[in-house]
Structure 1
Amino acid sequence: MPQSLNTAIMVIGGAEDKLHGREILREFFWRSGGSDARIAIIPSASREPVVIGNRYQTIFTDMGAQEAKVLNIDDRAQGDLPELQEYVSECSGVFLTGGDQLRLCGLLSDTPVMDIVRSRSQSGEIALAGTSAGAAVMGYHMIAGGGSGESPNHSLVDMTLGLGIIPDILVDQHFHNRNRMARLMSAIVAHPTLLGIGIDEDTCAMFEGDGILQVLGKGAVTIIDPGEMTYTNQAEVEKTDPLSMGNLRLHVLSAGCRFDLRQRSMLIRKSRKSAFWERG
């Protein structure tokens, strides 16, 4: 494995560009080691894992990766296989594809393979990316499904446990493309210690070890911060009644923007040429 990877955890909103500039996928390729990259592709979320796995394998091979291997885990018992544990222990990047986040968690949660991936990504040993369903599973708490087009309410969102890779966030993907603002609000009001992260399609929230989130891609990353919320009626209303929330903080970040996760504040540059970032 390359010894000096500039690794990151890349949370992708889905429908990332796979044909033209491939900005997000190329960033993952470089952070996995570029021509030295050995990438594990895990298509377990998909109902067509061979098709989707082979597609990403071709993309990363064409970019010049040393190896791109599809780990088609379609049974929980495979998560115990020594050869798969060995590969994720030695690879330089892991890519979780889209599909169904419940299926992905059902197959991978609490398996030795996922324990290795989680540990290595959290310690900065590997680059980890997840798109769509692969993004939804990043937090300890996960949005399993729900609706859109309504005011925030308890019935709008179904919650379960994710893979806990970035425990303090709650992710919603295909965000503005599928009108999911109210869904993320409905989820975050019940988990006020977490940051809600809504990621548009062909957009990536990239988490680095310095506690800074950077945005890549063509859309926006919406951050909902309930840390200073002064009021909510969530404990008092029925499941379909509208939720009230006071002093919920909202940040919208486009490509090139940064966010300090520890201070929960946006970072800006006075000019494009400036090398210094300051709180905005």
Structure 2
Amino acid sequence: MLKVTPFLDHKSMLISTHYPVMVIGGAEDKVNGCGILTAFFKSAGGKMATIGIIPCASQEPSVVGDRYYQIFKGMGAQQVQILDIRQPKECDQDRWLDILANCTGVFVTGGDQLRLRDLIGGSRFMTSIKERIAQGELVLAGTSAGAAIVGERMIAGGSSGESPNQSLVDLTTGLGIFPELLVDQHFHNRNRMARLISAIAAHPDKLGIGIDEDTCAAFENDGTFEVLGQGTITIVDPGKLTHTNYRAATQSSPLSLHNLTVHVLSPGDRYDYQNRVVLS
């Protein structure tokens, strides 16, 4: 469980923040009400915010970074910086660490989660992000690839439209912001239920979270999250699992999982991911 103290900005002025970490399923509204992005902007300090954008998961980081730059500047953020990191070794350079030290919010864009993990994973840069989240000094939001990386185990790719099986999902290490979670994104939009179940069969100690597009798991300080946006969040909880044939199955044979618990949460619902209980 991520434990967060009350949020302090880089000038040590007390700010009330509602969502220290926001995990977005991708394709969030950027044109109309911008509800999820506005919630991040407000959590990061509103017009007092200094927002850093990390676009390095994208193949076009300059284009993607500029799009979010325009959005957050348009909302009135005090300062917006694009942390256009292109090589892993850059993550330990003072120029990026100094910018990060002044940020009250960091937004991680979509793209390729493997590329993102390989660029910033294990770096001083990522260590600083985790430390500042835990200390209540930084709000983090990630969309699509930026959502996939938050668990200790990460879905790197796979297929859809099949029964659950081992070959349906490619798993690797994530960044461990929430070690107990295993996140999939673009969830119902890309028919990824079987993929998430296959991932949970491989790691039944994790809690599966499938997040639809334009939908966000907005984590709070108390081990819970609230559903924001327009879609749903699907919880796949193997806590009461009585049987799976995962170890005996071949790569392509169907998987069985008995007594799996599934919840579908809509906007406004809240979930206690530490105790695995639906709150509303």
Q: TM-score range by the shorter chain?
A: over 0.9
SS at match of 1:53: helix
With a CA cutoff of 8 Å and minimum separation of 6, indicate the structure with the bigger relative contact order. Answer: 2
Find 1:220's aligned residue among 222, 232, 243.
Answer: 232
Please state if 1:4 is matched with 2:15.
Answer: yes
Q: Which secondary structure does the structure 2 equivalent of 1:250 belong to? A: strand
Name the SS of the counterpart of 1:60 in structure 2: helix
Contiguous gaps of at least 5 residues in structure 2 = 1-8
**CA shift for structure 1 position 263:** 1.7
The residue aligned with 1:18 is 30
Whole-angstrom CA distance in 2 between matches of 1:140 and 1:124: 21
Given the two structures, how large is their TM-score scaled by the length of structure 2? 0.94
1:240-261, Cα deviation, whole Å (9 max, x unpaired): 0000000000011000000012
Task: Output one character per residue of 1:80-138: Cα deviation in whole Å (capped at 9) or x when no partner.
Answer: 11121122122100000000000000100011111111221233321100000000000
Q: Determine the structure 2 residue equivalent to 1:171.
A: 183
Partner in structure 2 of residue 189 of structure 1: 201
CA distance in 2, matches of 1:52, 1:103: 15
CA–CA distance in 1 between the matches of 2:241 and 2:134?
Answer: 29
Over residues 135-168 of structure 1, what are the superposed CA-to-partner deviations in whole Å (9 max), with x where a residue is unaligned? Answer: 0000010000000000000000000011111111
**1:220-251 per-position Cα deviation (integer Å, ceiling 9, x unaligned):** 00010001100000010100000000000001
Q: Is the aligned partner of 1:243 residue 2:278?
A: no
Q: Matched residues in 2 for 1:124 and 1:208: separation?
A: 11
Letter of the structure 1 residue corresponding to residue 194 of structure 2 = A
2:4 maps to none
Counterpart check, 1:155 vs 2:167: yes
Residues 149-207 of structure 1: CA deviation (Å, up to 9, x unaligned): 00000000000011111111000000000000000000011111111000000000011
Alignment-mate amino acid for residue 223 of structure 1: I
Identify the match of residue 105 of structure 2 among 88, 93, 97.
93
SS at 1:85's partner residue?
Answer: helix
Q: 1:28 deviation in Å?
A: 0.2
Work out whether residues 5 and 125 of structure 1, in 8 Å CA contact, stay in contact via their aligned partners in 2: no
What's the secondary structure of 2:23's corresponding residue?
strand
Kindly report which structure 2 residues correspond to 1:21-60, keeping only aligned pairs within 5 A, or say none. 21-60=33-72
Cα distance in 1 for partners of 2:136, 2:157 equals 30
- Show the 5 A alignment for 1:67-216: 67-216=79-228
Q: Which residue in 2 is equivalent to 1:277?
A: none
Write the deviation string for residues 41-91 of structure 1: whole angstroms up to 9, x where unpaired.
000100000000000000000000001100000101110111211221221
User: RMSD across aligned C-alpha pairs, in angstroms?
Assistant: 0.9
Identity rate, percent: 55
CA distance in structure 2 between the partners assigned to 1:243 and 1:68 by the alignment: 47
Unaligned segments of structure 1, at least 5 residues: 269-280
- TM-score, with structure 1 as normaliser: 0.94
